[in-house]
Amino acid sequence: MHWQMPVFSYFTIESPAKGLYREKGSKFLSFAYPVETESAIKLKIEALRKEYYDARHHCFAWVLGADKNKFRAFDDGEPNHSAGDPILGQIKSKDLTDVLVVVVRYFGGTKLGVGGLISAYKTSAADALNNAKIIEKEVAEVWHLHYSYPSTPEIMRLVKEFDLMIVNQKFESTCEVQVEVTNRDSKKVMERITLLQAMGVDVRLSDL
């Protein structure tokens, strides 16, 4: 079995960005979006197809997931690997994920050839990504902690020490808190929970 290092963080773009490239009369409009799901990707592409309905090609590429294991490139009628792959190459060259880049082409009457197309789609995608603000995000999971009310001070200390984001909480005779734990801190947080249990603190972790 192949062992992989856990992914602690990844780079994506903060907000949508645009680019523009012209070559021999053809116009390439590029759009970069932060996305997290394939359904979100579909909606973005459909919206661009409607807005730029008179364009000849709507080529795109995307990468999803902290480990970047989901990706796709689409040529939309351009010669094989002349559009989608160069766009995907730009996303990968910047080590980005959770990103969609669409390049809308208006044909200018002069064929560019495969080499010209590769260069144009690459340059256009790069322009949109260069105009985007790249940010680093931590990979995190939501943990569900159950504990008795008297254990509240210890649990809140744990939350404060590791700067855990509280997603949801419930205070009753049995209390619950959902916290976001980063992959970077997960081992330390688990060790601390185990230590609290050994000290007699009534706390347990459950799957959501």
pLDDT tens column, 47-89: 999 999 999 999 999 999 999 999 999 999 999 999 999 999 9
Counting Cα atoms < 13 Å in the Cβ hemisphere of 190 gives: 10
Bridge partners, 29 (sequence order): 20, 104
Question: DSSP label at 164?
Answer: P
Q: What would the pLDDT profile of 171-182 be if each residue is shown by its tens digit?
A: 877 899 999 999
Q: How far is CA 79 from the centre of its chain?
A: 28
Question: Do residues 198 and 143 touch, judged by C-beta distance below 8 A?
Answer: no
Whole-number Å distance between alpha carbons of 7 and 179: 19
Q: CA 3: distance to chain centroid?
A: 23
- Judge whether 154 and 132 are in contact, CB under 8 Å: no
Mean predicted lDDT score pLDDT of the chain: 93
Length of the chain: 208
Q: Whole-angstrom Cα distance, residue 86 to residue 83?
A: 6
The residue whose two tokens read 């979100």 is 40
CB atoms closer than 10 angstroms to residue 130:
13
Q: Residues 21-44: pLDDT tens digits?
A: 999 999 999 999 999 999 999 999
H or E element, residue 6: none
Residues in CB range of 159: below 8 A, 6 or more apart: 166, 177, 179
162 Cβ contact partners less than 8 Å away, ≥ 6 residues apart: 181, 185, 188, 189, 192
In order of start, what are the domains of the chain with their CATH numbers? 9-136 (3.30.230.30), 139-206 (3.30.70.240)
pTM above 0.75, yes or no: yes
